Amino acid sequence: MSDSQAAQELVARLGLLPHPEGGFFGENFRSPIQLTLPDGRIRAASTAIYFLLPMGAFSALHRVSSDEVWHFYDGDPLELTTITSEGILETMTLGRDLEAGQRPQFVVPAGVWQAAKSTEEKSGYTLVGCTVAPGFDFADFEMPVRAELAGLFPQHAAAIQHLTRD
């Protein structure tokens, strides 16, 4: 089975759909417990998705208004890049090679810009999970165009160029 066939099979078996930021996702948990946030929004206590990036795809810089925990499951390691509102850029690699500094889990705090891409091309895909609390809602999702982010963080123009779309 080729790398692209393996990714396509996972997309089909897990019932994943195209995600606006890139890659494929499928929600597999939405808590029945509802929370009322301080600003009056009502959200599920937590949500969880599978997220798959095929070889060559990336998750464009975006942010959500809740904490997001990324969990590595399978395939090639994932490079997760974050930019705080203060402009601090950090990169963490999710994967199984703990000796190389990879971690199986990483938390992106609420409101922090984030993007992801596969770091290798051995498996042809990266499969992760994302758990969001309070639960994810597309009303809390922002994905600006490249020029807007470059204006906010000109010191990170190169990273923004590679991790956004026009």
pLDDT over threshold 80, residue 2: no
11: alpha, beta or left, given left = phi > 0 and alpha = psi -120 to 50? Answer: alpha
In the numeric block, the tokens 């091309």 are attached to 121
Could you tell me if 15 and 49 are in contact, meaning their C-beta atoms sit under 8 angstroms apart?
no
CA distance 110 to 67: 4
Query: What pLDDT, on a 0 to 100 scale, did the predictor assign at position 119?
Result: 87
Q: What is the pLDDT of the chain when averaged over all its residues?
A: 95
134 burial (CB, 10 Å; 0-12 / 13-18 / 19+) is buried
Segment 118-162, tens digit of pLDDT: 987 788 899 999 999 999 999 999 999 999 999 999 999 999 999
Instruction: Say if residues 118 and 126 touch (Cβ distance below 8 Å).
Output: yes
pLDDT of 3 above 90: no
Provide the pLDDT for residue 5: 87
Domains of the chain: total = 1
- Provide the residue range defining the domain that includes 131: 3-162
Higher pLDDT residue, 15 or 123? 15
Single out the residue of 137, 118, 138 nearest to residue 127, CA to CA. 118
pTM over 0.85: yes
pLDDT at 126: 96
**Residue 155 belongs to domain with CATH number:** 2.60.120.10
